[in-house]
Copies of this chain bind each other. A is one copy, B any other.
């Protein structure tokens, strides 16, 4: 899809130029870490979603580019602060900001980024800018809620599937949905279409996160960037673990809880044992079915958008690409 690539390049150029400008502002200890963060790379999916949704409704990339940057800056702010909270030392093969600089600088640079997101948002050319700012604000609060639920769940043993789905909706899906809707609103899409593209984002986000949970265990190690089984080793409460705990018989439940409680263990042994319980409880198939359900819902919302179907090809390509279905 040449158009997607073209928009992506336009976006990357803007982002690189802005990052360079930001990195030169004083005080450097505030702004250089922001440049560092923005230059860490990543797929830049969210701002691309803004641009593609905007184009679907006839908008121009130049008009909404600042809104797209706002989303990317906000997203990078959340990663920066999440890394402090998770004590994650590495992000995209580089030292996390709190390791490269220090924790105080990481807190404050993140704070500045969340405000700078508004600065970019305010530069967006759109008649519906007030609505866009409200959408962004409510979404940003939801993302904070999602992160808090995620931290809360790490301390709890009784998280339900419903609670987990609510958490990933807040932590991941709403920002994708907001990105699409922002692009749509900036191009003056109807309320009906704006709502449908929002639901497209929500369901795509849920499908994406569940697939992420699945890939941690079942990915092809050659294609998967991260180590297989990382979530299992870390006792991460994923869809798989929560569903397995719910479906396990007494014997499996005891085994699973034993592994969860061990402080010292052989990692491959733990991964193999937990995987065996995932097999016997059938959670792989349940997760795959859930992914399909959300992905189909996403496609249904896309169908509902009252725009000529051929124009939707770029968004469909993006959706397939996110779900790893295009290659």
Contacts and interface: CB of A to CB of B under 8 A. Distances in A.
Given A108-B151, A114-B115, 7 more contacts: A27-B152, A29-B152, A81-B107, A84-B104, A108-B148, A110-B111, A111-B114
A71 to B, nearest CB: 14
Interface stretch (A127-135, A177-185, A316-324): A127-135
A100 interface: no
A200 interface: no
- For this chain, the copies found in one complex come to 2
B144 A115 contact: yes
Interface of A: 26-27, 29-30, 81, 84-85, 104-105, 107-108, 110-112, 114-116, 118-119, 122, 129-130, 133-134, 137-138, 140-141, 144-145, 147-149, 151-152
B29 A111 contact: no
B144 A108 contact: yes
Contacts of A105: 148, 151
Contacts of A119: 137-138, 141
Contact of A107 (B84, B138, B140): B84
Contact of A141 (B112, B147, B151, B152): B112
B104 A29 contact: no
A121 to B, nearest CB: 9
A107 B80 CA distance: 11
A138 B118 CA distance: 9
A133 B118 contact: yes
Nearest to A139: B115
A191 B145 CA distance: 39
A95 B197 CA distance: 45
Contacts of A147: 108
A27 B105 CA distance: 27
